[in-house]
């Protein structure tokens, strides 16, 4: 119980540091732009609600507040419902283009932070699944899934998914995830013949992401983890062993062994593995186990395979890849939001505090700093993009109203602005409550499938 409690407290602490830094960077963008244009900043707060501690310098109260769910910069005369005095230090006394720059500065800083973090990760230590490189060859088809029912076979190559030609596995998986219960077109290459097929991904997991049941073909099936005290270790298997056959059958992917164990149950397995150029044979007796982390009871031997590659890119290559990562992830966020509005994906695909905490905690437990920095970049980019949505109260809403006023060549009337902000506030509260509720009711899946 104590280790679990310490793990939870560690996750909360790391998440607070990460989110606090993201908010600090975001609000600093607004603050710096406001100061540059001579707008008087009354409050710079990390958190909302009651002031806990801080200091005052000049016109600004720098504070930490009681509710750590964001932060804000309060500028003089920023609220359209406030009385305007015409003071040149008031936000609304400044030209619209300056107010536009102040509004966009926060999200801009979050995007730039994500860009900087990714550039650093790509230069220092970028580790990624080995299956991402190269063509999308199928290693295994999970029985009973849409792909299996459609007749897709191991060895087939996906040469097109939706509008993407010659995709890699990352692109295929993103398309699947964002298409639950929606027809998705594939072109499959088998023995020189291309066949078009339409599959409907099934919603799976805590986020109800789409899945057609395809498993990537790994370059090799190598044991990257041996669970202590489990049959694989007892039989003599070691990390680094390449699994050639199990009961005389080639195993193209970990899921193939999971499926075999589901059928053979507690029957002994004969595993042939390659170790330092030498073939070795092991007799392994599967056992009924809940796995790591605990999940459903199933027959396992305590072996996992997750091949990764590590690269260190030169600066210019890291910059180019970081730009690509920002564009790719921004496009995925916008596509997800579009499909949510169209009711094509579930609200469960949006993670709240628990989901974010789970991702941050998992990254913090990995070796080195780069996994946490990579996840932090994703969170920062999400924060920047989400704040640009054209919803009043958010930065994007402020920008939208400024553009409308520019086209009208006059200010929107105060009563209309009041109604707009009231409606936006109710919408954001309902959205936040829905996300947090979904976050609570989601089941927490295992991070690694181990047979």
Q: pLDDT (tens digit, 9 = 90+) per residue, 92-116?
A: 889 999 999 999 999 999 999 999 9
Residue 1 burial by CB count (10 A; 0-12/13-18/19+): exposed, middle or buried? exposed
**192 and 145 inside one domain:** yes
**242 and 281 inside one domain:** yes
**230 and 298 inside one domain:** yes
**211 and 255 inside one domain:** no
Of 210 and 443, the structure prediction assigns the larger pLDDT to 210
The pLDDT assigned to 322 comes to: 96
**241 and 286 inside one domain:** yes
Residue where one domain finishes, among candidates 195, 215, 235: 215
The pLDDT assigned to 215 comes to: 92
Q: Domain for residue 292, yes or no?
A: yes
Query: 3, 18, 116: which is closest to 360 by C-alpha?
Result: 18
**271 and 300 inside one domain:** yes
Structure tokens at 129: 């699944």
Of 136 and 357, the structure prediction assigns the larger pLDDT to 136
For residue 150, give the CATH number of its domain.
Answer: 2.30.42.10
Q: Domain for residue 403, yes or no?
A: no
Q: Domain for residue 101, yes or no?
A: no
Q: Domain for residue 272, yes or no?
A: yes
**135 and 210 inside one domain:** yes
Strand ranges for 97-208 from DSSP E: 126-129, 136-141, 157-161, 164-165, 184-190, 193-199, 202-204
**232 and 211 inside one domain:** no
Task: Report the number of distinct structural domains present in the chain.
Answer: 2
Angle made by CA atoms 220, 222, 225, in degrees to the nearest 5: 150
Mean pLDDT of the residues in the chain = 87
The phi and psi torsions of 404 (rounded to 5 degrees) equal -65, -45
Q: Domain for residue 137, yes or no?
A: yes
**Do 295 and 446 contact (CB within 8 A), yes or no?**
yes
- pLDDT tens-digit series, residues 270-324: 999 999 989 999 999 999 887 665 667 889 999 988 888 898 999 999 999 999 9
Q: Which residues constitute the domain of residue 251?
A: 225-306
Q: Is residue 343 left, alpha or beta, with left meaning phi > 0 and alpha meaning psi from -120 to 50?
A: left
**274 and 199 inside one domain:** no
**252 and 278 inside one domain:** yes
Query: Residue holding tokens 């990579």?
Result: 374
Calpha distance 104→110 (Å, rounded):
10
Query: 177, 152, 150: which is closest to 162 by C-alpha?
Result: 177
Query: Residue holding tokens 């009871």?
Result: 297
**211 and 263 inside one domain:** no
**232 and 269 inside one domain:** yes
Angstrom distances, CA of residue 159 to CA of 24, 137, 164, 167, 185:
44, 9, 8, 6, 11
Q: Domain for residue 146, yes or no?
A: yes
């Amino acid at each position: 119980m104590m280790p679990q409690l310490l793990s939870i407290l560690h996750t909360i602490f790391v998440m607070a540091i990460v989110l606090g830094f993201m908010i600090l960077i975001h609000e600093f963008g607004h603050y710096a732009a406001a100061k540059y244009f001579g707008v008087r900043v009354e409050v710079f707060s990390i958190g909302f609600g009651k002031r806990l501690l801080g200091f005052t310098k000049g016109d600004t109260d720098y504070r930490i507040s009681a509710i750590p769910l964001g932060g804000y910069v309060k500028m003089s005369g920023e609220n359209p419902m406030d009385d305007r005095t015409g003071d040149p230090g008031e936000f609304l006394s400044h030209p619209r283009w300056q107010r536009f720059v102040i509004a966009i500065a926060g999200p801009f800083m979050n995007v730039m932070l994500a860009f900087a973090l990714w550039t650093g990760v790509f230069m220092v230590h970028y580790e990624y699944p080995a299956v991402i490189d190269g063509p999308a060859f199928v290693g295994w088809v999970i029985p009973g899934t849409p792909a299996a029912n459609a007749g897709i076979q191991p060895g087939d190559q996906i040469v097109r998914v939706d509008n993407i030609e010659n995709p890699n596995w990352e692109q295929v998986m993103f398309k699947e995830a964002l298409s639950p219960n929606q027809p998705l077109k594939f072109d499959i290459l088998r023995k020189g013949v291309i066949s078009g097929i339409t599959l409907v991904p099934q919603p799976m997991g805590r986020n109800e992401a789409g899945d057609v049941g395809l498993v990537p073909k790994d370059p090799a099936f190598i044991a990257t983890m041996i669970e202590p005290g489990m049959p694989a270790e007892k039989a003599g298997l070691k990390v680094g062993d390449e699994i050639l056959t199990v009961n005389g059958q080639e195993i193209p992917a970990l899921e193939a062994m999971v499926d075999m164990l589901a059928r053979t149950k507690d029957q002994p397995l004969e595993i042939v593995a390659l170790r330092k150029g030498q073939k070795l044979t092991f007799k392994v007796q599967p056992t009924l186990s809940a796995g790591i982390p605990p999940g459903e009871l199933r027959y396992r031997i305590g072996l996992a395979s997750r091949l990764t590659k590590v690269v260190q890119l030169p600066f210019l290559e890291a910059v180019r890849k970081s730009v690509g990562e920002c564009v790719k992830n921004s496009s995925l966020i916008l596509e997800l939001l579009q499909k949510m509005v169209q009711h094509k994906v579930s609200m469960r695909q949006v993670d709240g505090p628990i989901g974010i905490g789970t991702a941050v905690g998992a990254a913090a437990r990995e070796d080195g700093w780069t996994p946490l920095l990579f996840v932090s970049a994703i969170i920062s980019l999400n924060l920047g993009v989400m704040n640009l949505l054209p919803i009043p109260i958010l930065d994007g809403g402020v920008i939208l109203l400024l553009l409308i006023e520019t086209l009208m060549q006059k200010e929107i009337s105060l009563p209309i602005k009041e109604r707009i902000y009231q409606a936006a506030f109710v919408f954001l509260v309902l959205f936040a409550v829905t996300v947090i509720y979904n976050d609570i009711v989601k089941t927490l899946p295992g991070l690694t499938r181990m047979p």
